[in-house]
Amino acid sequence: AQKVTQAQTEISVVEKEDVTLDCVYETRDTTYYLFWYKQPPSGELVFLIRRNSFDEQNEISGRYSWNFQKSTSSFNFTITASQVVDSAVYFCALRSGSARQLTFGSGTQLTVLP
Amino acid sequence: DAGVTQSPTHLIKTRGQQVTLRCSPKSGHDTVSWYQQALGQGPQFIFQYYEEEERQRGNFPDRFSGHQFPNYSSELNVNALLLGDSALYLCASSLRTGLRRSGNTIYFGEGSWLTVV
């Protein structure tokens, strides 16, 4: 069975602060893919990153960075110098083995205050 | 390059009615999946279509059915609507062969907001 846990339901920060969103996953498969999506109020899920289980290299894209640690089954997402436009719900998702679907966490509502 | 498009954007139906939602995948993609997202929750997988056939199904009753057309577009049908069917319905698009490789990404549309009253 696959499971994704996002323990932080809501986070509120002041603009320019750094913030980390946690994601813990469970799977018995050795090959799997992890995703982060951003969901603004409009509803569309905006793809942010995909990480493969065999590539533990961390990644940085502008103000965004991701820390993938297989030893702790975590795939955390950090926003540096947050901005008001970063306010949204962020979802971590897992596609495992031969499964065709994504399993999502319950999401973290991030609010960045001016 | 058109992304995933869904219609209608919003709709209101009465309990017991039937609804059809439509999705056009991203250009070059051949696989369509549907997800239901209730308020305050993460999306839940309904089913996936590839080569005009349902390939996998999540834990949803038979009231939920779908179809994929030769041009890869898809429809989601829900019969005998219940109040609990009120949700955002998201269509996801991907390339079938890419699912077996590392280079695949799954893209979502803006969704269809369904309210059942």
What are residue B76's DSSP bridge partners?
Answer: B21, B66
For B46, the closest chain A residue by CA position comes to: A101
How high is the mean pLDDT of chain B?
92
- Which chain B residues have a beta carbon less than 8 Å from that of A45? 43, 90, 108
- Contact between A44 and B55 using a beta-carbon 8 Å cutoff: no
* Partner residue opposite A44 with nearest CB, options B48, B102, B111: B111
Q: What pLDDT score was predicted for residue B1?
A: 60
Q: Which residues of A touch B41 (CB under 8 A)?
A: 106-107
Test mutation, A37, A44, A47, chain B, max B CBs within 10 A: A44
Is the per-residue pLDDT at A40 higher than 70? yes
How many CA atoms are closer than 13 Å to the CA of A76, on its beta-carbon side?
Answer: 13
- Rounded to an integer, what distance in angstroms lies between the CA atom of residue A24 and that of residue A44? 23
Residues β-bridged to residue A21:
A77
The verdict on whether omega for the bond into residue B61 sits within 30 degrees of 0, i.e. cis, is no
Judge whether residue B102 has pLDDT over 50. no
Question: CB neighbours of A105 closer than 8 A, spacing ≥ 6?
Answer: A4, A5, A6, A23, A91, A92, A93, B42
> Residues B111, B90: contact at Cβ < 8 Å?
yes
pLDDT, tens digit, for every residue of B30-87? 999 999 999 999 999 999 999 999 999 999 999 999 999 999 999 999 999 999 999 9
Would you say B24 and B4 are in contact if contact means Cβ atoms under 8 Å apart?
yes
Looking at chain A, the whole-number percentage of residues with pLDDT higher than 90 is: 72
- Name the residue in chain B with its Cα closest to that of A52: B102
Q: Residue B48: name the closest of B38, B58, B59 by CA.
A: B58
The C-alpha R_g of chain A, in whole angstroms, comes to 14
Angle (nearest 5°) at CA B20 between B63 and A45:
95
Grade residue A22 by pLDDT with cuts at 50, 70 and 90: very high
Residue B92: closest C-alpha in chain A:
A45
Of A37, A47, A101, the CB nearest to B45: A101
